[in-house]
């Protein structure tokens, strides 16, 4: 007995040693070569990079793109519109478009790009992280406003407005528009469009105007002087009008009257509205108006250089040149130079990889400084440059305590939290406890200095006092301050408790917007002075939800354009609900609380004499001063208060913004003032960017020509004056007939072969039960998407939008009990009413996404096909690989090859397949030079025609997901095949055949393999669902346009119908696979046919 125990212990020690050696060996494998001395650096190159990284600029030397010209010169001037893109030239020659002087008008904007006159043509490739993110085309890429920023901010230059005059008292602003400027559909742009915005569009639909329209709580007025002149009249001096207009982004003060008026709920064409509402399945006129204004409405006229002409339900989204764009270069060539902007969709983690692999022409959005090494290392290999731009956002990572923390009577801890969050000594102590220099060294590679958020040293508004307030690392002082506040008791874990002994745990919420960053360091630093904090990553909807309910303790967000605090005040003064440190105070201010407006009751009033009230009053006075020096003075007073109060805890000065610019592109400045309020890169005038050698394929050019001439809206939208096509209806009828016949065929087969019949019969309840379970699961989390939005809008006091949301609840029937909603989703009411609005799953309509109210069928169409194809391809590949290997292993049993292959198969089975996907992605990028994110490389995605090259490209990209998914299934199949074949080979008939001289190969294939194949085929039924689900996670990791990523996204957003439909689709695919395998088995195995199936 003792020897057995001893031997077991020895074997254990042996196993342990083996494990340790294995781990060390693997570590040695993965370890890089470590030298004793640092590698040498080329000093010239280093100097160049460091110069590029130093983004400080001289405020006296500001570049300007827009040129002032004398418009009275007329057609003889050099800048007069005469040149145009070849693609437009051909259209003019064919008579499809008017000639260029008529399209552009006699008073165009003259823009001189930094690299001079450019070449026409080319496609600008970009990446978005969600379908909604593509809307940057409307403001950051192509934003056209009355006025615009210059690349480094000042000076503000005219754009749609030709010039402006200001009265002495700054109360009347007169804007002169350009004659001959047209919307993208050719209709003239006049003062009527601005007036329409003021009267019908904005006033009727938003309960507030933008901040720059409001002085002392009173909204200004817009008055039309003549067709090309408008006046903005304010009751008080307006100190921020120009900056506000320049940074208006997506909220421009004009709208196409000739197009939108007909959809206006009160003044519009009611018949048209009714038809459009029915086509889109909307039940409110307001919802229709909002939908019509969506940036993806192809019919909506725009002032952008690139416009949306063809509705796409899945990426890539294409924006083609606007033939009526009203800008030219100094030699009279109509801008933009680039023909098209193409947006691809990638998950956020893959965007830096895509940029580093040359998949973008020019992109700064979604690139963070933590990607710096990756971006810098790939510059040569992928032929791009990394530009560093001055960050107008003065902190990428700031911790905001919530001074408006909600106090719930049933939760005494919330009262304590509210009290301490409002205690400035508490905030100061937390700031002192952070070791900023350590974070800078560890997380930011030594770039930056410890600082609080302030406009920065380069800004005329900069405040050193605020920047350096409480940034020293002094944990003892912090501890003492906390002790003095009454937080001197500790619990059993050594952490402080509230004065009444209750457990003190603070929650620090962050989103993928900032990422985790140095949050963990902060948590550790705070823990060392006894403050227990828990980091929580939040999906955006949940984040908004908590913010709206004022439940958060600390949130992490970046700053916003603090460089000029007149534009970006919210980090210092609570001016609206997005002031993270005091959202409710912000709402009160925004709604005119200072002037006693009763709508301000939606927020909370800061008591008179408190620092918050004081800074709000100071800011208001700054808004009324148009004198820059006076504004700076007022802001210094605000910063002095902020320095004491520590309403924001930041770590360091921000690193520069990064932009990846392909070496094929010109016109992109080396330094740019970068921030949302500057609509970067719009301030660089992207219409002046160009490619050195544009090379769009003929198919792409032909497609662009078509798009320029004709719009292709979504099927659900109704063009004024069009009818649903008759051919569409016939097509639908045909499809229904076909499905009916197929179903009938299946039923017949089922009757004839009871085996199939049984399987068919069980399919129906299976699908039913799956649908019930998935629907119930999705409903489980409390609240839903709409509720989140309503909470957020209520905080904004946006009464009208809240009404709209409530109507959304109605249209999605969210107030009905779960079982009713389930039946609706199935589509049962349709059998009673035959009303198209009642269509559901049984009629093939998968409902609507709550986020953008698009049809799920639309969003899913291509993806389902792809998921199915990939699964099919995987099965074929698995067979192709597993069969021969299994046969070989059986025939050459116990040989080296057998052991090796079986071992490899095992490894494939054990590696988590998502990790395999990431590894393969990396290796194929590094060793094969193929960048496998997405299904096509970007050039191929841009070409619509299916050339041989495009097919090759698809194969090059699709092998990764197929191999990854197949590898896990292959091992099992190999073993099964091997085992079955071995069994067969032992049987007497094989010996007989060998004795009779049948050749080995023929002998092998004719019977044993065919018999051994049997479990393979029946195995498909089991494998298909596995493949579909395994494929889902691989698709998520690789960001492929398949069903999986859509499912994950909808689950995160609690977009109920979308998520439930996705799950149903995946289940249905699995069941379909099972059915196919059963049919195959019926065909292959005669035993089943004969016996009538007794498996």
Partner 1 sequence: MSRPPKEAGSLSQWQLIRLRFGKHWPAVASLYLLGILYLLALFAECFAPYSKGWNDVDYIYAPPQLPRFSLEEGWHAVQLQRHIDPETLKNYYTKTNQVIPLGFFVQGEPYRLWGVIPMDRHFFGADMPADAEEWPAYYMLGADKFGRDILSRLIFSARISLSIGLVAILVTFLLGVSIGGVSGYVGGRTDNVIQRSIEIINAFPQLPLWLALAAVMPADWSSIQTYFAITIVLSLLGWTGLARVVRGKILSLREEDYAVAARLLGANHGRILFRHLLPGFTSHIIVSLSLSVPAMILGETALSFLGLGLRPPVVSWGVMLQECLNIDVIANYPWLLMPVFLIILTVLAFNFLGDGMRDAADPYR
Q: Is the dihedral of CA 619, 624, 629, 633 positive or negative?
A: negative
- Give Rg (Cα) of the chain: 33
Find the shortest distance in angstroms from Cβ 513 to partner 1.
Answer: 15
Pick between residue 445 and residue 952 the one whose CB is nearest to partner 1: 445
Give yes or no for residue 633 binding partner 1 (CB under 8 A). Answer: no
- Please say whether the beta carbons of 137 and 126 come within 8 A: no
Stretch in the footprint of partner 1 (CB under 8 A) among 24-32, 322-330, 397-405, 597-605: 24-32
Return phi, psi of residue 192, to 5°.
-60, -35
Pull the structure tokens for residue 489: 């008791």
Pull the structure tokens for residue 717: 């939208």
Q: Is 317 helix (H, G, I), strand (E, B) or coil?
A: strand
Neighbours of 910 (CB within 10 A): 9
Pick between residue 145 and residue 352 the one whose CB is nearest to partner 1: 352
Pick between residue 744 and residue 1052 the one whose CB is nearest to partner 1: 1052
Q: Is the dihedral of CA 748, 750, 754, 757 positive or negative?
A: negative
Q: What is the distance of C-alpha 943 from the center of its chain?
A: 24
- Please say whether the beta carbons of 796 and 203 come within 8 A: no
Pull the structure tokens for residue 731: 């097509």
- Residues 542-571 close enough to bind partner 1 by CB under 8 A: 542
921, 958, 966, 973: which one binds partner 1 (CB under 8 A):
921
30, 832, 896, 995: which one binds partner 1 (CB under 8 A):
30
Give yes or no for residue 1075 binding partner 1 (CB under 8 A). Answer: no
Cα–Cα distance between 622 and 634 in angstroms, integer? 6
Give yes or no for residue 22 binding partner 1 (CB under 8 A). Answer: yes
Give yes or no for residue 777 binding partner 1 (CB under 8 A). Answer: yes
Stretch in the footprint of partner 1 (CB under 8 A) among 276-284, 442-450, 467-475, 593-601: 442-450
- Residues 725-764 close enough to bind partner 1 by CB under 8 A: 762
Q: What is the DSSP letter of 345?
A: E
Give yes or no for residue 1067 binding partner 1 (CB under 8 A). Answer: yes
- Counting residues that bind partner 1 (by CB under 8 A) gives 102
Find the shortest distance in angstroms from Cβ 446 to partner 1.
Answer: 6
Cα–Cα distance between 938 and 354 in angstroms, integer? 10
Closest CA to 688 of 711, 717, 666: 666
342, 622, 790, 1036: which one binds partner 1 (CB under 8 A):
1036
DSSP for 829-878? Answer: HHHHH--GGG--GGGT---B-TTT--BHHHHHHHHHHHHHHHHHHHHHHH
Give yes or no for residue 896 binding partner 1 (CB under 8 A). Answer: no
Pick between residue 94 and residue 926 the one whose CB is nearest to partner 1: 926
Left (φ > 0), alpha (ψ -120 to 50) or beta: where does 1007 sit? Answer: alpha
Give yes or no for residue 353 binding partner 1 (CB under 8 A). Answer: yes
Pick between residue 514 and residue 524 the one whose CB is nearest to partner 1: 524
Cα–Cα distance between 435 and 526 in angstroms, integer? 10
- Please say whether the beta carbons of 770 and 1064 come within 8 A: yes
147, 403, 859, 1037: which one binds partner 1 (CB under 8 A):
1037
Query: Cis peptide before 1093, with omega less than 30 degrees from 0?
Result: no
Strands across the sheet with 340-345, in order? 123-128, 340-345, 317-321, 306-308
Angle between helices 1056-1084 and 754-779 (to 10 degrees): 160
92, 233, 702, 911: which one binds partner 1 (CB under 8 A):
911
Find the shortest distance in angstroms from Cβ 373 to partner 1.
Answer: 4
Give yes or no for residue 1062 binding partner 1 (CB under 8 A). Answer: yes
2, 5, 31, 629: which one binds partner 1 (CB under 8 A):
31
Give yes or no for residue 37 binding partner 1 (CB under 8 A). Answer: yes
Stretch in the footprint of partner 1 (CB under 8 A) among 605-613, 625-633, 872-880, 1067-1075: 1067-1075
735, 747, 769, 951: which one binds partner 1 (CB under 8 A):
769
446, 501, 948, 1086: which one binds partner 1 (CB under 8 A):
446
Give yes or no for residue 376 binding partner 1 (CB under 8 A). Answer: yes
Give yes or no for residue 4 binding partner 1 (CB under 8 A). Answer: yes
Stretch in the footprint of partner 1 (CB under 8 A) among 156-164, 275-283, 680-688, 1042-1050: 1042-1050
Give yes or no for residue 21 binding partner 1 (CB under 8 A). Answer: no
6, 14, 742, 955: which one binds partner 1 (CB under 8 A):
14
Left (φ > 0), alpha (ψ -120 to 50) or beta: where does 568 sit? Answer: beta
Give yes or no for residue 34 binding partner 1 (CB under 8 A). Answer: yes
Q: Is 127 helix (H, G, I), strand (E, B) or coil?
A: strand
Find the shortest distance in angstroms from Cβ 1030 to partner 1.
Answer: 7
Return phi, psi of residue 890, to 5°.
-70, -45
- Residues 272-311 close enough to bind partner 1 by CB under 8 A: none
Find the shortest distance in angstroms from Cβ 449 to partner 1.
Answer: 16
926, 987, 1002, 1095: which one binds partner 1 (CB under 8 A):
926
907, 949, 952, 955: which one binds partner 1 (CB under 8 A):
907
Pick between residue 9 and residue 724 the one whose CB is nearest to partner 1: 9
201, 1044, 1055, 1078: which one binds partner 1 (CB under 8 A):
1044
Pick between residue 24 and residue 994 the one whose CB is nearest to partner 1: 24
200, 339, 371, 845: which one binds partner 1 (CB under 8 A):
371
- Report the residue count for the chain: 1095
DSSP for 928-973? Answer: S----SSSS-HHHHH--S--HHHHHHHHHHHHHHHHHHHHHHHHHH
Q: Is 490 helix (H, G, I), strand (E, B) or coil?
A: strand
Cα–Cα distance between 959 and 957 in angstroms, integer? 6
- Residues 510-549 close enough to bind partner 1 by CB under 8 A: 520-521, 524, 535-538, 542
Cα–Cα distance between 776 and 771 in angstroms, integer? 9
Stretch in the footprint of partner 1 (CB under 8 A) among 73-81, 179-187, 443-451, 585-593: 443-451
Find the shortest distance in angstroms from Cβ 27 to partner 1.
Answer: 4
- Please say whether the beta carbons of 142 and 305 come within 8 A: yes
Pick between residue 565 and residue 1030 the one whose CB is nearest to partner 1: 1030
Q: Is the dihedral of CA 344, 345, 350, 351 positive or negative?
A: positive
Burial label, 74 (beta-carbon count in 10 A; 0-12, 13-18, 19+): exposed
Cα–Cα distance between 581 and 572 in angstroms, integer? 9
* C-alpha pair distances (Å), 547 with each of 485, 541, 791, 793: 27, 10, 9, 11
DSSP for 1060-1073? Answer: HHHHHHHHHHHHHH
Find the shortest distance in angstroms from Cβ 1076 to partner 1.
Answer: 14
2, 35, 493, 727: which one binds partner 1 (CB under 8 A):
35
- Residues 809-848 close enough to bind partner 1 by CB under 8 A: none
Pick between residue 183 and residue 369 the one whose CB is nearest to partner 1: 369
Stretch in the footprint of partner 1 (CB under 8 A) among 26-34, 184-192, 314-322, 496-504: 26-34
- Residues 212-231 close enough to bind partner 1 by CB under 8 A: none
Give yes or no for residue 442 binding partner 1 (CB under 8 A). Answer: yes
Pick between residue 230 and residue 1071 the one whose CB is nearest to partner 1: 1071
Stretch in the footprint of partner 1 (CB under 8 A) among 12-20, 266-274, 448-456, 1082-1090: 12-20
Stretch in the footprint of partner 1 (CB under 8 A) among 189-197, 394-402, 458-466, 1068-1076: 1068-1076
- Residues 993-1032 close enough to bind partner 1 by CB under 8 A: 1022, 1025-1026, 1028-1030, 1032
Cα–Cα distance between 75 and 949 in angstroms, integer? 47
Cα–Cα distance between 631 and 619 in angstroms, integer? 9
């Amino acid at each position: 007995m003792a020897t057995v125990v001893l031997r077991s212990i020895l074997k254990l020690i042996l196993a342990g040693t083996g494990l340790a050696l294995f781990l060390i060996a693997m570590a040695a494998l993965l370890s890089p070569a470590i030298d004793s001395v640092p590698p040498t650096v080329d000093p010239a190159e280093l100097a160049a990079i460091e110069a590029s990284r130093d983004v400080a600029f001289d405020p006296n030397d500001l570049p300007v793109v827009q040129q002032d010209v004398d418009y009275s010169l007329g057609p003889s001037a050099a800048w007069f519109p005469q040149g145009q893109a070849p693609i437009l030239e051909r259209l003019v020659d064919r008579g499809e478009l008017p000639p260029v002087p008529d399209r552009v008008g006699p008073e165009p904007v003259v823009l001189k790009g930094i690299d001079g006159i450019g070449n026409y043509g080319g496609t600008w490739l970009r990446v978005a992280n969600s379908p909604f993110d593509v809307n940057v085309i409307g403001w950051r890429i192509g934003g056209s406003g009355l006025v615009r920023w210059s690349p480094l901010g000042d000076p503000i230059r005219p754009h749609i407005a030709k010039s402006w005059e200001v009265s002495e008292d700054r109360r009347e602003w007169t804007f002169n528009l350009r004659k001959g400027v047209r919307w993208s559909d050719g209709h003239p742009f006049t003062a009527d469009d601005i007036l329409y915005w003021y009267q019908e569009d904005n006033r009727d639909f938003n309960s507030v105007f933008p901040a720059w329209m409001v002085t002392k709580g009173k909204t200004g007025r817009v008055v039309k002087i003549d067709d090309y002149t408008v006046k903005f009249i304010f009751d008080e001096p307006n100190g921020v009008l120009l900056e506000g207009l320049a940074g208006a982004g997506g909220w421009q003060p004009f709208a196409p009257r000739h197009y939108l008026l007909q959809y206006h709920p009160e003044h519009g064409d009611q018949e048209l509205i009714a038809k459009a509402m029915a086509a889109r399945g909307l039940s409110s006129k307001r919802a229709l108006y909002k939908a019509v204004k969506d940036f993806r409405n192809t019919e909506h006229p725009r002032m952008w250089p690139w416009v949306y002409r063809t509705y796409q339900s899945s990426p890539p989204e294409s924006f083609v040149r606007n033939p009526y764009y009203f800008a030219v270069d100094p030699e009279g060539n109509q801008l933009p130079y680039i023909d098209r902007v193409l947006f691809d969709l990638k998950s956020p983690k893959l965007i830096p990889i895509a940029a580093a692999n040359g998949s973008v022409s020019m992109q700064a959005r979604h690139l963070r400084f933590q990607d710096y090494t990756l971006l810098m290392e790939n510059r040569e290999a992928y032929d791009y440059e990394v530009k560093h731009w001055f960050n107008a956002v003065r902190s990428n990572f700031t911790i905001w305590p919530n001074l408006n923390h909600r106090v719930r009577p049933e939760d005494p801890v919330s009262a304590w939290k509210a009290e301490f969050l409002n205690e400035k000594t508490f905030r100061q102590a937390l700031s002192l406890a952070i070791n900023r220099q350590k974070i800078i060294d560890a997380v930011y590679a030594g770039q930056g200095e410890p600082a609080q958020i302030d406009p920065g040293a380069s800004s005329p508004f900069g405040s050193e006092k605020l920047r350096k307030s409480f940034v020293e690392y002094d944990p003892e002082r912090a501890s003492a301050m906390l002790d003095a506040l009454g937080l001197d008791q500790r619990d059993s874990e050594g952490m402080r408790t509230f004065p009444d002994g209750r457990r003190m745990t603070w929650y620090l919420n962050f989103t993928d917007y900032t990422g985790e960053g140095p949050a963990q360091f902060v948590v550790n630093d705070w823990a060392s002075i006894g403050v227990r904090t828990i980091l929580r990553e939040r999906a955006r909807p949940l984040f908004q939800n908590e913010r709206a309910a004022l439940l958060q303790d600390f949130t992490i967000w970046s700053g916003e354009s603090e460089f000029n605090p007149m534009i970006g005040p919210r980090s210092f003064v609570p001016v609206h609900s997005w002031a993270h440190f005091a959202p409710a105070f912000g709402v009160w201010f925004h709604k005119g609380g200072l002037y006693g407006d009763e709508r301000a009751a939606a927020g909370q009033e800061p008591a008179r004499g408190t620092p918050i009230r004081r800074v709000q009053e100071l800011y208001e006075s700054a808004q009324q001063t148009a004198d820059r020096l006076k504004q700076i003075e007022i802001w210094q007073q605000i910063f002095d208060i902020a320095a004491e109060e520590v309403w924001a805890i930041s770590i360091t000065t921000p690193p520069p913004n990064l932009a990846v610019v392909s070496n094929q592109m010109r016109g992109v400045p080396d330094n740019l003032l970068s921030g949302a309020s500057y609509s970067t890169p719009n301030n660089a005038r992207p219409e002046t960017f160009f490619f050195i050698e544009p090379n769009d394929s003929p198919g792409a050019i032909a497609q662009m020509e078509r798009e320029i001439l004709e719009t292709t809206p979504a099927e659900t939208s109704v063009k004024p004056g069009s009818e649903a096509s008759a051919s569409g209806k016939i097509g639908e009828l045909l499809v229904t007939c076909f499905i009916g016949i197929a179903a009938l065929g299946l039923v017949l087969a089922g009757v004839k072969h009871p085996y199939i019949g049984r399987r068919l019969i069980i399919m129906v309840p299976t699908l039913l039960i799956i649908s019930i379970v998935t629907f119930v699961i999705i409903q489980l989390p409390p609240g839903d998407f709409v509720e989140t939005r309503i909470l957020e809008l209520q905080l904004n006091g946006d009464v009208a939008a809240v009404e709209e949301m409530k109507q959304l609840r109605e249209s999605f029937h969210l107030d009905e009990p779960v079982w009713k909603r389930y039946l609706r989703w199935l589509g049962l009411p349709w059998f009673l009413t035959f009303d198209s609005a009642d269509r559901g799953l049984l009629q093939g309509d998968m409902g609507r996404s709550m986020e953008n109210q698009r049809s799920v069928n639309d969003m899913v169409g291509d993806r389902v096909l792809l998921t199915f194809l990939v699964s099919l391809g995987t099965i074929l590949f698995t067979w192709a690989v597993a069969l021969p290997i299994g046969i070989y292993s059986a025939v050459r049993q116990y040989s080296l090859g057998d052991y090796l292959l079986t071992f490899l198969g095992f490894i494939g089975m054990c590696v988590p397949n998502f990790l395999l996907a990431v590894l393969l992605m990396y290796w194929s990028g590094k060793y094969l030079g193929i960048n496998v994110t997405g299904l096509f490389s970007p050039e191929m995605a841009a070409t619509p025609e299916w050339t041989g090259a495009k097919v090759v490209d698809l194969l090059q990209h699709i092998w990764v997901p197929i191999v990854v998914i197949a590898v896990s299934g292959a091992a099992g199949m190999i073993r099964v095949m091997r085992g079955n074949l071995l069994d067969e080979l032992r049987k007497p008939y094989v010996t007989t055949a060998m004795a009779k001289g049948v050749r080995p190969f023929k002998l092998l294939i004719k019977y044993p393999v065919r018999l051994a194949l049997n479990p393979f085929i029946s195995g498909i039924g089991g494998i298909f669902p596995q493949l579909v689900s395994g494929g889902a996670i691989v698709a998520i990791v690789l960001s492929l346009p398949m069903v999986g990523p859509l499912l994950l996204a909808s689950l995160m957003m609690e977009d109920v119908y979308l998520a439930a439909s996705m799950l149903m689709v995946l289940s249905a695919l699995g069941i379909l696979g099972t059915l196919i395998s059963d049919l195959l088995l019926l065909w292959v195995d005669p035993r089943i046919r004969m016996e009538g199936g007794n498996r």
